[in-house]
Amino acid sequence: MIRIVRSTVVQRPVATVWALLRDFNGHAQWHPAVAESRIERGRWADAVGCVRHFKLADGAELREQLLALSDATTTLRYGLLDTPIPLLNYVASVRLVPVTDGDVTFWQWSCSFDTVPGQEQAMTEIVGTQIYEAGFAAVRTRMECST
């Protein structure tokens, strides 16, 4: 099993960052890889168990299910249901923590998954860099532009 942990600091209070990230269907508004997204079956985007079906900028389609969401601990967890690439048993977590020195946010994004032999490095690069680090950069840019 592969485990990836990435983290960053966003120069905004936790409540501001959480308002953006807790919307399980909102990633099309901030992540550069996501072209469009919808929640299946008309469910709420913060309802545990809801499934988001989204299309990437390259046309690939994925489905992910919200497994947990807590406003009290500013955390969420989700699992990948369908993907065209070999990410198997993928479960990810997002955790926000207030940094009191400066009223900023520590953001940790982590996951574990399996893949087919020989794809470990490629899948680690896709998830760690193209998804997580690109997402961090996009949120930081969005937050800086909203001042």
The answer, yes or no, to whether residue 146 has pLDDT greater than 90, is no
Q: CA torsion sign, 11 to 14 to 18 to 21?
A: positive
Provide the b/e sequence for 106-128 (b: ≥16 CB within 10 Å): ebebbbebebeeebeeebeebbb
**How does pLDDT run across 15-34, given as a tens digit for each residue?**
999 999 999 999 999 999 99
Among 127, 138, 105, CA closest to 4: 127
pLDDT single digits (tens) 111-142: 999 999 999 999 999 999 999 999 999 999 99
Edge-first strand listing for the sheet containing 61-70 = 2-10, 104-114, 88-99, 75-82, 61-70, 51-56, 34-39
Q: Which domains does the chain have, with CATH numbers?
A: 2-145 (3.30.530.20)
